Amino acid sequence: MVYSPSRRDFLRSVLSVSAGLTVVGMGTACSSGRSTGSGGSGSTGTLIVAAPSLKGLGQDYMTQLVYPSATYWDAIFDYLVEQDESGNYIPGIATAWEASADKLTWAFDIRDGVVFHNGDPMSAEDVAFSYNRLLFDPASRHAIKSRAEVVDSIKVDGKRMLLKTKTPQADVPVWFAQSDGGVSGTVVSKKYFDAQGAAKASAHPVGTGAYKFVSSSGEDSVELAAFDDAKRGDWQKTRQPKYSSVKVVAVSEESTRVSMLKSGQADAVPLTVSSIADVESAGSGMRVVKTPSASYAGMLFVGYTLNPKSPFNDKRIRQALSIAIDRQAITDSVYKGTAKPSGGFYGGPGSLGYPEDLEPPAFDSDQAKSLLSDAGFSGDMQILIKSDDTDFPDMSTLAEAIAGYYQKIGLSVKVNAMDSGALNDLQYAGKLPGQKANPAVSPATLYLRGFGNVVNVVPDQVTGYTSEGRPGRALWDYPEQEQKLKAIAAEFDADKQASMFADYYKWMAEQWNQVPLLASDAVFGVSGKVAKWQPITSKPLVNSLHTMSG
């Protein structure tokens, strides 16, 4: 008998095959999906952290122009100088440090009893090897290499590392500190590098931190295991890891990180203000963790003191442009309590010399109008706010909010939000309105920008804004300010330097030299598996994994 199906039979068979394929596919996928889920956050003792990027993972950090993510790097390695949870510098691999009487040699006492993850003891040789590589290896592309021109030598003297400079350098400890200079303070094993070669030693890093490297997958993820070897030194034992393993995955999209947290596929993720409500309402022990002062926003008066005709040379106009902004209202409406008005332009709690009693400029639009009037403002002054898009959350909204307040006091304002690279190009070429190559008086240009909170901003301020830096890109030319910065940079006594910097902050505020705006928190979402955590203030990435526990 010949099988002769009808058209209905044919259609039924087509549908059956399609449905079957779909069901089989879904079934396979479902079973695999459950397995993946439970194998991740479901496993007791495993912590999963989502970092925005793991760029450069597995590469030699010396050859990178981007820093490895501190989320996993800080867990694997220790630094010469470290930070406590308030951001203050504390001894790390170095127990103490001091400058010689002639201020040309810095001596660092290297800690005893520290062992690498492979069991080798760490010595001053390893420390000197690590920093000689960064400063003098021809293959080094690390930012700290720019200091090589002032360094004479880095040598070992017993249990000390001696760094000799050609001219006095007050900030040497900062070069190898945990925060400033990215990962330049990292201490690697000379013996391990010599035996494996830089490529292999970087692909499978060995450090002295609380967690040891296990494996990595491209730039997607890195797996760590607790370093709880009995041979660890006493100092290492004080940082007991609480999870048997940690997986750090690269997840660039914030909505994806939040979904991972809510579905139990991540335990700690960095957030922005837009996701806070979502995480707070998720339940299951999920909570939001904030640390203050991760970044700052402020405005620079382009052309101030640089251009004799700049309207910003009139202090009343500078003051008016500062007090016309209701910082608290912007904080409440735009940043929903994750930022606060700031009186300092460069840093905040945890940064060198920040005067805690420095109040933000008080909002007073009537006085602002009056000051403009006193200054002979005729209403034809155009204000241009050039805003970049990095180092502070939601810069474009902030720029629009400021423009709104300026319009209220009768100013004509335009906002020009730009990619930070394009804005850098303009500034470096000296072409922002008011700069040397574009000495326009109108529009009077304010450069709105964000800054990551750096513990010691003095070196950057000196190279960035004084004649030590690139003259063509200067935004102002103010000898008194330059002298003050140079004097602070040259001070070797840390306490005195902090005091001088505090005075500098206050002087800047009195002069209305810049427009301080807001300080933003670092915001994280954590799952119920992270009951305790002491992140270092001001760091925007998930950090201090050894302080996390369930």
Partner 1 sequence: MVSYVGRRTLQAIANIVFVATLIFVLARATGDPVSLLLPQSASPAVVDQLRTELGLDKPLWAQFLGFLGQIFTFDLGHSFVTGEPVSDVLLTHIGPTLALSLTALVLAVVVGIPLGVVSAVRRGGVIDAVAKGIALLGQAVPAFYLSILLVLLFAVQLPLFPVAGRDGAASYVLPAIALGWPALAGVLRLTRSSMLDALDADYVRMARAKGMHPTITVGKHALRNALIPVVTFSGLMLAGFLGGAVVIESIFNWQGIGQLTLDAIKVRDFPVVQGAVITVAIGFIVVNLAVDILYLVIDPRIRYE
- Residue pair 82/91 in contact (Cβ under 8 Å)? The answer is yes
The upper half-sphere exposure of residue 33, i.e. CA atoms within 13 Å in the direction of its Cβ, equals: 8
Residue 202 interacting with partner 1 (CB under 8 A): no
Report the residue number, 115 or 143, with the smaller CB distance to partner 1.
143
Region from 165-173, 243-251, 321-329, 527-535 binding partner 1, contact rule CB under 8 A: 243-251
Distance CA 37, CA 106 (A): 51
Smallest gap from Cβ 28 to partner 1, in A, equals: 6
Compute how many other C-beta atoms are within 10 angstroms of the C-beta atom of residue 303. Answer: 28
Distance CA 457, CA 351 (A): 8
Residue 200 interacting with partner 1 (CB under 8 A): no
Report the residue number, 260 or 518, with the smaller CB distance to partner 1.
260
- Specify the DSSP class assigned to residue 310: -
Residue 422 interacting with partner 1 (CB under 8 A): yes
Both structure tokens of 488: 């602070």
Residue 22 interacting with partner 1 (CB under 8 A): yes
Residue 450 interacting with partner 1 (CB under 8 A): no
Residue 494 interacting with partner 1 (CB under 8 A): no
Residue 277 interacting with partner 1 (CB under 8 A): no
- How does DSSP assign 44-66, residue by residue? TTEEEEEES--TTTTS-GGG-SS
Report the residue number, 393 or 459, with the smaller CB distance to partner 1.
459
Q: Which of 23, 24, 30, 195 binds partner 1 (CB under 8 A)?
A: 30
Smallest gap from Cβ 3 to partner 1, in A, equals: 10
Residue 23 interacting with partner 1 (CB under 8 A): no
Q: Which of 20, 23, 24, 35 binds partner 1 (CB under 8 A)?
A: 35
- Residue pair 398/387 in contact (Cβ under 8 Å)? The answer is yes
Residue 164 interacting with partner 1 (CB under 8 A): no
Residue 214 interacting with partner 1 (CB under 8 A): no
Residue 173 interacting with partner 1 (CB under 8 A): no
Distance CA 241, CA 13 (A): 59
- How does DSSP assign 462-515, residue by residue? HHHHSTTS-GGG-S---HHHHHHHHHHHT---HHHHHHHHHHHHHHHHHHT-EE
Q: Which of 20, 23, 24, 33 binds partner 1 (CB under 8 A)?
A: 33
Region from 63-71, 314-322, 325-333, 345-353 binding partner 1, contact rule CB under 8 A: 63-71
Both structure tokens of 133: 């590589």
The upper half-sphere exposure of residue 95, i.e. CA atoms within 13 Å in the direction of its Cβ, equals: 11
Residue 32 interacting with partner 1 (CB under 8 A): yes
H or E element in which residue 287 lies: strand 287-301
Residue 412 interacting with partner 1 (CB under 8 A): no
Taking each helix axis as running N to C, give the angle between helix 494-511 and helix 479-489, from 0 to 180 degrees, rounded to the nearest 10.
160
Residue 470 interacting with partner 1 (CB under 8 A): yes
- Across the beta sheet with 160-165, what order do the strands follow? 94-99, 105-110, 160-165, 151-157
Site string for partner 1, 257-276 (x = CB under 8 A): --xx-xxxx-----------
User: To 5 degrees, how large is the angle CA 345–CA 348–CA 350?
Assistant: 145
Name the 3-class secondary structure at 182. coil
Q: Write the single-letter amino acid at 281.
A: S
Smallest gap from Cβ 164 to partner 1, in A, equals: 21
Smallest gap from Cβ 35 to partner 1, in A, equals: 7
H or E element in which residue 329 lies: helix 327-334
Please report, as ranges, the residues that interact with partner 1 according to CB under 8 A: 4-7, 10-11, 14-15, 17-18, 21-22, 25-26, 28-37, 53, 55-56, 59, 63-66, 141, 143, 145-146, 149, 218-221, 249-253, 255-256, 259-260, 262-265, 420-422, 424-425, 428, 459-460, 463-464, 469-470
